[in-house]
Amino acid sequence: MAAPATDRNGKCAFFVEKKKRFCKMVVAKGREFCGEHANNEEGGGGGGGRIVCPLDPKHTVNRNKLEAHLKKCNSRDKAKPAYYAEDINAGSPVPSQHSLQQVTPASLSSWSARASRRLGNPLRRQVTLCERSAEADNPKNGDSARKHLKQQASILGHLEALGLLRRGRCFVEFGAGRGKLSHWIHRALEGHPPERLQMLLVERSSTRFKVDGKHRGGDVEFARLHIDIQHLDLTKVPLLERRLPLVGVGKHLCGAATDLALRCLFRSRPTPGREAGRPPKRLKAEAAHPGGVAGLALALCCHHRCEWRHYVGRRFFSDLGLGPAEFSAFCRMSSWATCGVRAAPRAAGAEEASDGGLPSPSERERIGRRCKLLLDAGRVEFLRAEGFDARLTRYVGAGVTPENVLLTAAPRPPSPET
């Protein structure tokens, strides 16, 4: 459907059926249709007609200009940056065959109890708010915004308690999204002594409404990398040539991304044959990165999306007599902690019913929590083997987010003997 261009104030005359309106693109003088809809015009827009781009079917291109378009199309293969290293943080391939021990509530309880004993105080509750993050209580913010701000304020509070919230650091935000966590870290450090400050944001997806512009041109050296953590070699990132200590941060770093981030921080490129058989010995932070790792604070989530190949706690699982198959079972059941089927409202004093022979909803939630604890315990053990004091903390209440566990770590103080 079309209307004369003169009746459309210079806008395209093509009617977009899906949106029930005319195209809003401005047309060239003397034309009725924009370049995207030029096929509707006699002569195909004066250039042999338009065809679907072979690199991306979501847009079209003038047939006679195809060769030039392919050289600049945003969907073309681009040269890999220097810091791209295929699968550098992926871990060793998964064996094809595994045996599965019987996973029952009793066996899971026993394994989680053993994990708790090794962790000491496995999950404490400590909501530590940064004093410079008062926006969390601003009544002008909506409920969703307040929940995000409370999480960010608590993460900053834990960084501050560990002595990590200071200048003279490079904060690496994994799974940065819009970059709000880095934004509040920067805000919290305003007015501090004029030491160098760096922000490195890592995000594999294209993100709208980023807050990156608030960092540029100020008192911070800033860079955003559009790359999957799995392929990121931090030793090749130009910003890190300043050799500042690294602080890894992340808010709801989903599933395997947490393990990839830990590998990225603590490991350099593996040598051939290094990962055969037993899980590899880990490299020290100073060997992996010029500035070393000063610490980290990663808010965890989506354990059902963890993968054995990437998981950093495989040695911990092996010590418990567990392997890839049990790991897979724990990942699946971990989702019960936050999205299990809830029981219908019950009369007072009534028994909580199970569903189809499965444990009751409350029991499924407890099982899911145990599975999460087991998976996170392996991460804590990994960090302790690197010489760090690591712990798990419920950093906000479940009403703010059910995924409310924060993994923190700072270097272990040297013993008096050394």
Alpha-carbon distance of 361 to 32, in angstroms, equals 62
CB 266 within 8 A of CB 287: no
Q: What pLDDT shows up at residue 233?
A: 95
CATH class of 105-340+358-411: alpha beta
Alpha-carbon distance of 324 to 79, in angstroms, equals 36
Quick one: pLDDT band at residue 200, thresholds 50, 70, 90?
very high
Lowest mean pLDDT among 216-220, 269-273, 387-391: 269-273
Q: How many CB atoms lie within 10 A of CB 141?
A: 14
CB 103 within 8 A of CB 326: yes
Tokens of residue 211, six digits: 């807050």
- Could you give the percent of the chain with pLDDT greater than 90? 39
Task: Supply the pTM of this predicted model.
Answer: 0.76
Closest listed residue to residue 256, CA positions, set 334, 194, 357: 334
pLDDT higher at 284 or 330: 330
Q: What pLDDT shows up at residue 94?
A: 73
pLDDT in tens, 214-262: 877 678 999 999 999 999 999 999 999 888 999 999 998 999 999 999 9
pLDDT in tens, 130-183: 655 556 566 677 888 889 999 999 999 999 999 999 999 999 999 999 999 999
- The DSSP code for 403 is -
**Does position 403 have pLDDT exceeding 80, yes or no?**
yes
CB 187 within 8 A of CB 220: no
CB 202 within 8 A of CB 277: no
Q: What is the DSSP string of 256-309?
A: HHHHHHHHHHH--PPPTTTTSSSPPPPPPHHHH-TT-EEEEEEEEE-GGG--TT
**Does position 273 have pLDDT exceeding 70, yes or no?**
no
Alpha-carbon distance of 237 to 258, in angstroms, equals 20
Domain with CATH 3.40.50 in the chain: 105-340+358-411
CB 236 within 8 A of CB 82: yes
Alpha-carbon distance of 345 to 88, in angstroms, equals 50
Alpha-carbon distance of 125 to 200, in angstroms, equals 30
